[in-house]
Amino acid sequence: VKKIQSNRITAVQGDASDLNHLDRLIDIIRETKGRLDIIFANAASCSFARFGTITEKHFDETFNVNVKGVLFTIQKALPILVNRSSIIINGSNSSNKGDPDLTVYCATKAALRSFARCMTVDLKERQIRVNTLSPGAIDTPLLRSMG
């Protein structure tokens, strides 16, 4: 963001699973921009665990970022999201297939796809479009570090 040097972009660091951080994010957007035209909800936590070894901590951490964070980011932004705007949720093709050792991650991405379908109906009167992108694996340092 610093390299772009645009007054149209504001970077806000926070934890998508922490509702207080989301409140701060929306407050900053409201104060600096006044409104939102597009939300690109892109939060992800991914770690491997065989089905028989999934712990409550693993489950909670993954769902808190991937599902809770996305849902409440969008919900908290609704008051400043203009009619006829767009919500784009970053899903994964893992929501449609089984990936080894990624049971919880795949379930979170399937939940996002389902949320998007329901939000489309709920936000129809405001003509807000809701779409889910479902890319495959993207070569990033994070992906390479996972093996």
Whole-number Cα distances in Å, 52 to 84, 107, 109: 45, 15, 20
Q: What is the DSSP letter of 122?
A: H
Per-residue pLDDT tens digits for 45-95: 888 899 999 999 999 999 999 999 999 999 999 999 999 999 999 998 887
> What's the predicted TM-score (pTM) here?
0.86
Which amino acid belongs to residue 95?
Answer: S
Work out the pLDDT band at 1, boundaries 50, 70, 90.
low
The pLDDT, as a whole number, for residue 69 is: 95
The pLDDT, as a whole number, for residue 80 is: 98
Average pLDDT over residues 101-117: 94
Active site residues: 105
Is the pLDDT at 147 greater than 80? The verdict is no
Is the pLDDT at 120 greater than 90? The verdict is yes
What is the C-alpha to C-alpha distance for residues 129 and 138, in angstroms, rounded to an integer? 25
Q: What would be the CATH architecture of the domain defined by 19-145?
A: 3-Layer(aba) Sandwich (3.40)
